[in-house]
């Protein structure tokens, strides 16, 4: 004989005192709690790492005193953790040769060498440069003698307003350090991250060719 009692809706069917809906809700809450716990645990671990003797150090959010090695010299300054290397150079240390033009890593005007590697200083935190050797345009000449790249830029009139020039010189130096005799195509490619609004590229390429002991091959109208 049929049972006259209708089945209860599936979602609310009692099962050992717990409905399907409340069971799923409990699962979700448990997962969220576990996630929060693991996030908190990770934060605690990171802070603990900052306090360990050999582990990564947690700095900030207050201003911190750092020593940067710039052009072979240790230079102390106090910076906020978000300070870029470019800001530290120009605003804290008075090294204004590296130019701020785009401030977003797209023009090359702030190019410096960090441990010999071409770097746009506006895209690097000063804190990340601690422990590295930073070379700026101010440190390129040695004992009053210009770097061959600087001398060639002057000889070949490779600038107009000059605002992009420190970045182009540093990029050229990095290129020649890696490749002492680049072809014209390699020079074009190596300097492609540096923008000159005055359009001095022709003379810049000639200057790099001459600085690398080669003949200038581009006429003054560009090739």
- CB of residue 71 to ligand FES, shortest distance in Å: 19
Instruction: Count Cα neighbours of 210 within 13 Å in the Cβ-side half-sphere.
Output: 20
Asked if omega into 159 is within 30° of 0 (cis), the reply is no
Task: Give the Cα separation of 78 and 62 in Å (integer).
Answer: 10
SS3 of residue 39 by DSSP: helix
From 70, 85, 107, 118, residue interacting with ligand FES (rule: CB under 6 A)? 107
Q: Which stretch binds ligand FES (CB under 6 A): 33-41, 149-157, 159-167, 175-183?
A: 159-167
Residue 216 corresponds to which tokens in the numbers above? 């200038």
From 122, 140, 176, 208, residue interacting with ligand FES (rule: CB under 6 A)? 122
Q: Which stretch binds ligand FES (CB under 6 A): 36-44, 54-62, 131-139, 193-201?
A: 193-201
From 71, 92, 132, 160, residue interacting with ligand FES (rule: CB under 6 A)? 160
- Asked if 68 and 62 touch (Cβ cutoff 8 Å), the reply is no
- Asked if 129 and 85 touch (Cβ cutoff 8 Å), the reply is yes
161 sits near ligand FES (criterion: CB under 6 A): yes
Interface residues toward ligand FES, by CB under 6 A: 100-103, 105-110, 120, 122, 159-165, 196-198, 200
């Amino acid at each position: 004989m049929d049972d006259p009692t209708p089945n209860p809706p599936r979602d609310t069917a009692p099962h050992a005192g717990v409905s399907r809906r409340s069971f799923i809700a409990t699962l979700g809450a448990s997962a969220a709690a576990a996630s929060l716990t693991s996030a908190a645990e990770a934060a605690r671990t990171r802070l603990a790492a900052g306090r360990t003797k050999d582990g990564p150090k947690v700095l900030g959010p207050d201003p911190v005193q750092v020593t940067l090695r710039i052009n072979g010299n240790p230079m102390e300054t106090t910076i906020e953790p978000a300070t870029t290397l470019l800001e530290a150079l120009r605003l804290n240390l008075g090294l204004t040769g590296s130019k701020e033009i785009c401030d977003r890593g797209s023009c090359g005007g702030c190019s410096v060498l960090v441990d010999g590697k071409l770097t746009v200083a506006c895209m690097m935190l000063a804190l990340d440069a601690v422990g590295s050797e930073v070379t700026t345009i101010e440190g390129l000449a040695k004992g009053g003698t210009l770097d061959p790249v600087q001398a060639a830029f002057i000889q070949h009139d490779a600038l107009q307003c000059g605002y992009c020039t420190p970045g182009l010189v540093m990029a050229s130096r990095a290129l020649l350090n890696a490749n002492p005799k680049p072809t014209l195509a390699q020079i074009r490619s190596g300097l492609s991250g540096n923008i000159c609004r005055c359009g001095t590229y022709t003379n810049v390429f000639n200057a790099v060719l001459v600085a690398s002991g080669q003949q200038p091959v581009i006429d003054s109208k560009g090739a």
